[in-house]
Amino acid sequence: MLDNVRIVLVNTSDQRNIGSAARAMKTMGISDLVLVNPKELPDSKASALAAGATDILAKARVVATLSEAIADCQLTFAASARSRTLDWPMTTPREAAAKVLQEGQQGTVALVFGREATGLTNEELQLCHYHTHIPANPEYSSLNLAMAVQTLCYEVRVAYLDAKQSHFPEALGDYPTAGEMEGFYMHLQRAITNSGFIVRNHPGKVMNKLRRLYTRTRPDKNELNILRGILTSFERNNKSNN
């Protein structure tokens, strides 16, 4: 299960934080690290802070966008230092860990962390299923990046050890990956643009709202296929009427 937990660091400025994050991960038994467009690639400064966790740095993958980093993940959590930035499903770190435990038995689950200075953008936050806030001092709630990684990885480890003692929760349904959901959103956007429901040059916030709707209701693979089938049938019908 812990092998299915991915840590994603977005656009990190200081490679020393990447090293410390690798160490935090390894102490908790988590090893899959993906770096989205880091400002500095990890070298000796990161290794110094990684200590015995340089193997995690060595096999870390570097990608250009958050979408790429999570494309094969079925469940994603965005760690945010702000307690409620958008109207989006929230979890505590403990609730997040319980969900990680449940779905990590089936597929890859990602915990996503933002930039040291500015965190995650709204667009990045909206790519994730849940926002997770570590309930820190409300007057000073921003943890160092690696410490936030440590805190969430610790919760996952505790949930995992508890389950090993008693039992693992039953796996859930078969959910699409983030990449499959993106494919659906592109299809939906194309269909409702072509039908005239949204105006090409003034799309407004409809797609954001639809993303929120589908994130909240979370269709399984079968349901997503039905939705895509409906879109395709409308498109086919439109074409034959034109």
Residues that bind ligand SAH (CB under 6 A): 79-82, 113-114, 116, 118-120, 132-134, 136, 141-143, 145, 148
Other Cβ atoms closer than 10 A to 195: 12
CB of 144 to ligand SAH, least distance (A): 7
Q: Provide the minimum distance between the beta carbon of 52 and ligand SAH in the complex, in angstroms, as a whole number.
A: 23
Nearer to ligand SAH (CB atom), residue 147 or residue 210: 147
Task: Give me the least distance between CB of 135 and ligand SAH, in Å please.
Answer: 7
**CB 161, min distance to ligand SAH, A:** 22
Q: How far is the CB of 48 from ligand SAH (least distance, A)?
A: 21
Distance (Å) of CA 5 to CA 73, 101, 102, 122, 190: 9, 9, 11, 23, 33
Could you tell me the CA-to-CA distances from 196 to 188, 191, 193, 202, 238 in Å, in that order? 12, 9, 5, 11, 12
Based on CB atoms, which residue is closest to ligand SAH, 75 or 134? 134
**Which of 4, 132, 3, 120 has the alpha carbon at shortest distance from 65?**
120
Q: Which residue is nearest to ligand SAH (CB)?
A: 119
76 or 80: CB nearest ligand SAH: 80
**Which of 93/176 has CB closer to ligand SAH?**
93
Of residues 138 and 196, the one with the C-beta less far from ligand SAH: 138
Closest to ligand SAH by CB, 45 vs 115, is 115
Q: Whole-number minimum distance, CB 213 to ligand SAH, in Å?
A: 25
Least distance (Å) between residue 107 CB and ligand SAH: 22
State how far the Cα of 146 lies from the Cα of 154, in Å rounded to an integer: 12
* Residue 181 to residues 1, 62, 129, 242, Cα–Cα distance (Å): 23, 22, 11, 29
CA distance 95 to 73: 18
Q: What is the DSSP string of 127-161?
A: TSSEEE-----TTS----HHHHHHHHHHHHHHHHH
By C-beta, is 133 or 184 nearer to ligand SAH?
133
Query: CA end-to-end span of the chain, whole Å?
Result: 51
Burial class of residue 216, CB neighbours in 10 A (0-12, 13-18, 19+): exposed
